[in-house]
Amino acid sequence: MKRRTTVLTMIPTLLSQASNDPALAAGQPVTPRDFWLPQGASTVAPEIDWVFHFINYINYFFFFLVVGLMFWFMWRYRQRGREVYARGPSHNTMLELGWTIIPTIIVVVIFFMGFKGFVSLKTPPENSYQIDVTAAKWYWKFKYPNGATSDDLYVPAGRPVKLVMRSEDVLHSLYIRDFRVKQDVVPGRYSSLWFQADNPTGQNEKGEDAFHWLFCTEFCGTGHSDMNRKVFVLPEAEFDSWVVEQGRWLDKVDEKDLWWKAGPQLYRACASCHTLDGSVGTGPSWGNYDGTGNVWERTKPGSTHKIDKGKNLGDIIGPGKEYETPEGYLRESILNPGKHLVDPYGNVMPTFKGQLSDRGIQALIDMMKNLDKFNKDGTVKAEAIPQAAGGAAGDAKK
Amino acid sequence: MTTLDSRPVATEVKDNYLTFTRGLLSWIFTLDHKRIGVMYLFAVLGSFFVGGVMALLVRTKLLFPGRVEWMTADEYNKAFTLHGAIMVFLVIIPSIPAALGNFVLPIMLGAKDVAFPRLNLFSFYLWLAGAACAVYSLMAGGFDTGWTFYTPYSSQYSAGGTIPVLVGVFILGFSSIFTGVNFVVTIHKLRPPGMTWFRMPLFLWAVYSTALIQILATPVLGITVALLVIERAFNIGIFDPSMGGDPVLFQHFFWFYSHPAVYIMILPGMGIISELIAVHSHRHIFGFRFIAFSSVAIAIFSFLVWGHHMFTSGQSPLMNVLFSAITFSVAIPSAVKVFNWLATLYKGSIAFNTPMLYALSFIFLFTIGGLTGIPLAVLSTDIHLHDTYFVVAHFHYVMMGSALIAMIGGLHHWWPKMFGVMYSEFWGKIACALVFIGFNMTFFTQFMLGSQGMPRRYYMYQPEFQIYHHISTGGSYIMALGFLITAIYLIHSLFAGKKAPANPWGGASLEWQCTSPPPHDNFATTPRVGDCYDFSAVRWDEKEQGYVIDTEAHIAAASSGKGH
């Protein structure tokens, strides 16, 4: 997008030496830090900064106008002697209408400038790379599509990134100042924001990894000011290998431990819709409801669990039927959730294709098979943990 | 209070309201609006001292970016919460209407008292009860929610004194409502013959607009804190999502009151400034009707903009757009007032008395406070600035640099009337300069802190911000010194101040036409009124060492439409 160069658009450019060069210079800000603003490092930053500086110049004008006139009048019309009565005009309708109407026009213009920037801030591109964010007292957790997690935020350069955020307790707010983005994280609902950073953070002059600060900006108690993290922007190829490496945690879990080590971790993404205690959620509970057994028991041959408006689940599972094994049905339900719908639920579940590896699906199905060994909150019961690994119960809870 | 009674009054010809009756009980059960105003004044100034000490503790901690041994994060959180809650609910909201308004309003109307004197005393005791709840909450563990009490932190996790302080806020709300009702009725019913709405001093227009907001908005605050107490005490889910509530709903409720409350704080201040600028310029206020109607306009618009506190809260983007657009409507009447004050200085005869220095400081500071509201009302820039020090700086320029500076200016303006004594003009000017310089050092740096991205309510911060914090804290010490000097010379004047004339500044409104201090009944007979901004009949009297007004000429000028 190219803006026509006018006198007004040049003013902030002259001040901040803003560069429109899209070269992906590592460590280079899109706009450098100036007297008012920190460096700008996202695609929306230059536009927002421009509006900020534009308002500033209007403000300088009116401030010096008001204060200049005030000091001039103070000197020019200072009291001389105590014979006091001063004759000045008591009103002037045209003048007063003038200083009512002119500011009105100015603020209408400013409103539209802010509105335009806000629309870009609120419209994530279709192909955004989604990262799930969990905020809690007092940490952030970032989860990538392949299941990898991290405490600091890593994002690919040159690609729109959408953060989908939830809170486990109180209000938090995610703020990356160099990207000029901020959004409250509200318990009980999802909120989101997006940004695109074109320049990788690279290294600073001391050879350390450079980064952008991420702050919590909604007061959340004792550790509020500890809730800051670093944001690293990696070149896309470097990011892709980073996220794969980071996602390997699942591969490192032993096959026989998948059900209690990996299952509960992955289940946390399912927990917002699927309860374990049979209570009603957005999706069918994995636990026993209506006396039909838990999710694994319901897929046994001959199951009369109702799906697709009146059919029996047992009719599609079994040798020669649509799914040879219950595992096949469960796998399809995760990767292609709209194909069969449990009554009376609608088609609302997103697909986890590309987000869950086969190993991840295996872990979830293994967890379903052992559902009686789990607490209602999705953590494994201490006594159910295999003896040899008893000491590692904490891992599973995490 | 008893010390006031023992003040030497030998020179007084007859009794004034301070000497009319004697003894502690005569104050405790007084129905005199002037005594109630004085009691409010000292109560509010006492709270201001406590809130100020909290601010200094917070600022001193912020000299250091990391942890300090003498103040934990929890203590810091309680200190800034206490600072905010005291300053908002105990100081700024009651300061001008309840303290100065109570004293001046009936006299400006030529009335003997407010319409409901008993209700007036009752609202003062409600204030005391609310303050007592706040003190009790400190003993019950304090509270650390910030003055905004956002849920679910406040309903589940905050410190043990949260319920008592919410009860206190509930009670203080009723104190505010009763004062508002009293003033609305008084202004409607007790204006003297000849004082039409457009002959009424602009301070009363402002107090009237304020009273309307107090009556209409404060009940919502009462309901909101009551719901919050119910949720916290009985685990009934209203705002807490883990019990099926909605935390954003709380923010809507809270700001539906608290945004109008911002104008409860600033409107009376603007009214004072209109008086101060006109009287000390000795010239007719410019554009009376525009100033008067802008007060009413601000009062109306104040109810329509609460959502601009919630641009990042997760309310719908459409709501954000609407609230942003409507917010700009508040900028217009505010700008109109500033231009009208400037035009009043034009061709005036400006006397740089201490109250006028505060009024001029107000114009300077309010201009900054108002203009920095623009990037906060603009959607795209507010996303960056929201919940940073930029917001802190902005509302301190408006709440303290404007509302509180106006209150202190008004206090200096009416101090001779209230207590019949003059304070030291020399020390008054020194203190005003210290407060002005200190204030700008403290809060202008916070604009840079905020726009550079430092979040508010942070116990620890990145070292890059330290230089700004050092300047800011230094400024706060200078400001504190200014207020300390003010307290000393004001108290000194009570005991050793020169006797004040009836009209030390040359005002033409009614309060300058009764003695200083006023008699118990204010006026022996209902006074006749002229144009209170017409100073053509005001003359300096060397013998009186004050100004005198030729009442006949004053009224004649008003009825002939001359004198502008």
- CB atoms under 10 Å from CB of A125, counted, come to 12
Nearest CA to B143 among B172, B126, B164, B122? B164
Question: Which pLDDT does position A159 carry in this prediction?
Answer: 95
Averaged pLDDT of chain A: 85
Pairing, β A229-234 against β A153-156: parallel
Query: Which two structure tokens, joined as six digits, stand for A18?
Result: 């803003």
Residue written as token pair 């308002």: A55
| Inter-residue contact B458 to B525 (CB < 8 Å) | no
Q: Of A16, A31, A41, which is closest to residue A211 (Cα–Cα)?
A: A41
pLDDT at B407: 97
State how far residue B292 is from chain A, nearest Cα, in angstroms: 13
Instruction: State both tokens at A110.
Output: 């400013």
Which is higher by pLDDT, A63 or A275? Answer: A63
**DSSP-based three-state secondary structure for B356:** helix
The alpha-carbon gap from A54 to the nearest alpha carbon of chain B, in Å, equals 10
- Looking at residue A83, what is its pLDDT? 66
Residues 228-287 of B with CB under 8 A from A: 241-242, 245-248, 281-287
Segments in chain A forming alpha helices (H): 7-16, 45-76, 93-122, 236-246, 249-252, 263-270, 295-298, 326-335, 358-369, 393-397
Distance CA A200, CA A210 (A): 9
Interface of B with A in 37-76 (CB under 8 A): 73-74
CA distance A117 to chain B (A): 5
Q: Residue B479: its pLDDT value, please?
A: 97
Q: 10 Å Cβ neighbour count for A349? A: 18
Closest residue on chain B to A184 (Cα): B313
Q: What's residue A61's pLDDT?
A: 96
Domain A129-246 belongs to what topology? Answer: Immunoglobulin-like (2.60.40)
List of residues 6+ apart from A62 with CB closer than 8 A: B367, B371
Strand-strand pairing, B498-499 and B538-541: unpaired
pTM, to two decimals: 0.82
Question: Are B52 and B92 a contacting pair, CB within 8 Å?
Answer: no
Q: Would the CB atoms of A99 and B286 count as touching at under 8 Å?
A: no
Residue carrying structure tokens 């003993």: B139
| Confidence at residue A86, expressed as pLDDT on a 0 to 100 scale | 77
Question: Across the interface, which of B363, B377, B382 has its CB nearest the CB of A70?
Answer: B363
> What single DSSP character describes residue B284?
P
Q: Please give the pLDDT value at position B188.
A: 96
Average pLDDT over residues A263-276: 82
A130-134: long-range pairs with CB below 8 Å, 24+: A130/A161, A130/A162, A130/A163, A130/A164, A131/A155, A131/A161, A131/A162, A131/A163, A131/A164, A132/A163, A132/A164, A132/A165, A132/A166, A132/A269, A133/A163, A133/A164, A133/A165, A133/A166, A133/A174, A133/A185, A134/A165, A134/A166, A134/A167, A134/A168
Across the range A370-397, mean pLDDT stands at: 71
Residues in chain B within 8 Å Cβ distance of A175: 387, 453, 455
Residue A228 burial (10 A CB sphere; 0-12, 13-18, 19+): middle
Residue A158 · residue B286 · CB < 8 Å: no
Indicate if the pLDDT at residue A152 is higher than 70.
yes
Say which DSSP state A398 is in: -
Cβ distance of B336 and A85 shorter than 8 Å? no
Contacts with A221 from chain B: Cβ below 8 Å: 77, 144, 153, 157-158
Fold type of domain A254-397: Cytochrome Bc1 Complex; Chain D, domain 2 (1.10.760)
Q: Which of A66, A104, A216 sits opposite B367 (nearest CB)?
A: A66
* Number of residues written out for chain B: 564
Q: What is the pLDDT of residues A92-106, one digit of tens each?
A: 889 989 989 999 999
pLDDT at A345: 86
pLDDT surpassing 60 at residue A14: no
Element (H, E) at B433: helix B425-451
Q: How confident is the model at residue A288 (pLDDT cuts 50, 70, 90)?
A: confident
Given a cut of 90, is residue A254 above it in pLDDT? no
d(CA A278, CA A293): 9
Length reported for chain A: 398
What's the one-letter identity of residue A395?
D
For an interface test with B, the pick among A76, A211, A224, A226 (most B C-beta atoms closer than 10 Å) comes out as: A224
Under the banding of pLDDT at 50, 70 and 90, the label for residue A321 is confident
Q: What is the mean pLDDT of each run of 10 residues along chain B (564 residues)?
A: 40 73 91 96 97 97 94 94 96 95 95 96 97 94 93 89 95 96 96 90 96 95 95 92 92 95 94 96 93 93 94 91 92 93 94 96 97 95 96 96 97 97 97 98 97 96 96 97 97 95 93 92 88 90 89 85 50
Selection from A1, A80, A75, A15 nearest residue A50 by Cα: A15
Q: What is the pLDDT of residue B524?
A: 86
Q: For chains A and B, count residue pairs whose Cβ atoms are closer than 8 Å.
A: 286
Q: Is A154 in a helix, a strand, or coil?
A: strand
In chain A, where does the domain assigned CATH 1.10.287 lie? 7-77+89-122
Tens-digit pLDDT profile for residues A17-67: 444 444 445 667 788 899 999 999 999 999 999 999 999 999 999 999 999
- Strands B538-541 and A311-312: what pairing? unpaired
Give me the DSSP letters along A204-223: -TTSSBP-EEEEE-S--STT
A224 contacts B457? CB cut-off 8 A: yes
Region A180-195 average pLDDT: 95
**Chain B 305-344, CB below 8 Å of chain A: which residues?**
312-314, 317, 320-321, 324-325, 328, 331-332, 335-336, 338-340, 342-344
The alpha-carbon gap from B278 to the nearest alpha carbon of chain A, in Å, equals 10
Residue burial A240-278, b: 16+ Cβ < 10 Å; e: rest: eebbeebbeebeebeeebbbbbbbbbbbebbeeebbbeb
Long-range Cβ contacts of B156-163 (<8 Å, 24+ apart): B156/A169, B156/A170, B156/B232, B156/B240, B156/B242, B157/A137, B157/A169, B157/A170, B157/A221, B158/A221, B159/B74, B159/B78, B161/B136, B161/B137, B162/B137, B162/B232, B163/B137, B163/B229, B163/B232, B163/B233
Residue B448 to chain A, least CA–CA distance (Å): 6
The predicted complex's ipTM stands at: 0.92
Which two three-digit tokens encode residue B38?
């004085």
**Helix B33-61 to helix B466-496 angle, to the nearest 10 degrees?**
150
Tokens of B124: 């003062």
User: Which residues in chain B (479-508) have CB-CB distances under 8 A to chain A?
Assistant: 506
CB crowding B98-125: b at 16 or more within 10 Å, else e? bbbbbbbbbbbbbbbbbbbbeebbbbbe
Question: Could you tell me which residue, A387 or B272, shows the higher pLDDT?
Answer: B272
In angstroms, the first-to-last Cα distance of chain B is 43
Domains and CATH numbers, chain B: 2-560 (1.20.210.10)
Say what the pLDDT of residue B11 is.
Answer: 41
> Tell me: domain A7-77+89-122, CATH 1.10.3470, correct?
no
| Residue A102: closest CA among B335, B370, B285 | B335
Per DSSP, what are the bridge partners of residue A183?
A: A174
The predicted structure's pLDDT at residue A354? 67
d(CA A166, CA A172): 9
Inform me whether the C-beta atom of residue B293 falls under 8 Å from chain A C-beta atoms: no
Cα distance between residue B480 and residue B442, in whole Å: 11
